[in-house]
Copies of this chain bind each other. A is one copy, B any other.
Amino acid sequence: LTPPRHRPVDSRIYPRFAGVRTFMRLPHLRDLEGLDAAAVGIPFDTATSFRPGARFGPEAVRSASALLRPYHPAFGVDVLASISVADYGDLPVAPGDTVGTYRRIEEGLAPLVDAGVFPLVIGGDHSITLAELRALAVRHGPMALVHLDAHTDTWDEYFDQRYFHGTTFKRAAEEGLVEPAASVQAGMRGSLFGASDLEDARALGFEVIPSEQLRALGPDAYARTVRARVGDRPAFLSFDIDFLDPAFAPGTGTPEVAGFSTAEAVALLRSLRGIRLVGCDVVEVAPPYDGPGQPTATAAANVALDLLALRALSK
């Protein structure tokens, strides 16, 4: 029996600007039966160090995703015909309470993890990734991290708080949720508090590829580096939208200049075909700082489709 394949609202009947905004205008479901993957919003931004607003990230990415179509020409695959995808809605969060929100996220993702439904998480600030990793590690154990970001997010604490959007991957390594030796952080750039900001990430065992080096490598060499470390492990891909240059993604909390274009970013993502993804997120979209044409949300929606396509191709 063929599992149900959810399709977006029919654009021949409802134009793409019509209808309640779910991810790609897919059904909004809480029933996981037959689902391969689900878009899940986590509208949380309490753990932001500079510009808040990422709590409206899921809304904005859903809105921009109305333009997405199911066929991915670069991969030659109809993503939604390959895997059954729906919009699971947003998880509960507690604004002002990071630890309380972590508990809610872990509980909220557990049913998806149990059911083997691939979570495509739309953030939210980067603090949420820790709770996502906790939920997935229950099933998958320590995962390989494929991290594209302007920052390593490996500080130890911030204002006496151990859980913040800049401490996520230190905590994830400490908690054994990711295997640094199998992980690659790439795209780092911008001024730092000190040399230790990058060294600390390396000391944890991560491979760190700064932006200039990543640009010099190009997609093929990057993909070889990732594959060499990740191998067959279950992998989690975390895409912080500030990996992109502010020209392409102005709507984010801690922008860093000299970043990547969307053309560069999708070339890097597409080079990863075959990686065994078990989860992913796109985070740090802060709509109040986006331009009138919403380029940041549009970029994030397209990254999300690429991630779904990578999942579809890895099955």
* Residue in B13, B257, B288 whose CB lies within 8 Å of A266: B257
Q: Is the CB of A76 within 8 A of B195?
A: yes
* Residue in B66, B160, B246, B266 whose CB lies within 8 Å of A295: B246
C-alpha gap A177/B76 in the complex (Å): 32
C-alpha gap A292/B177 in the complex (Å): 37
Interface band, chain A: 35 or more
Stretch at the interface among A85-93, A141-149, A225-233: A85-93
Give the shortest distance, in Å, between A29 (CB) and chain B (any CB).
Answer: 11
Q: Tell me the dominant secondary structure on chain A's binding face.
A: loop
Q: Is A129 an interface residue (CB 8 A)?
A: no
* A residues with CB within 8 A of B: 11-22, 28, 41, 43, 45-53, 55-56, 58-59, 62-63, 66-74, 76, 78, 87, 89-90, 92-98, 100, 158-161, 164, 188-195, 197-198, 210-212, 215, 245-248, 250-252, 254-255, 257-259, 261-263, 265-267, 288-295, 298-299, 302, 305
If A11-B193, A96-B98, A291-B293 are given as contacts, then 13 extra A-B residue pairs at C-beta distance below 8 Å, sorted by A number, are A16-B49, A18-B58, A18-B90, A52-B53, A71-B191, A94-B160, A95-B159, A96-B158, A100-B160, A251-B293, A259-B263, A288-B288, A290-B292
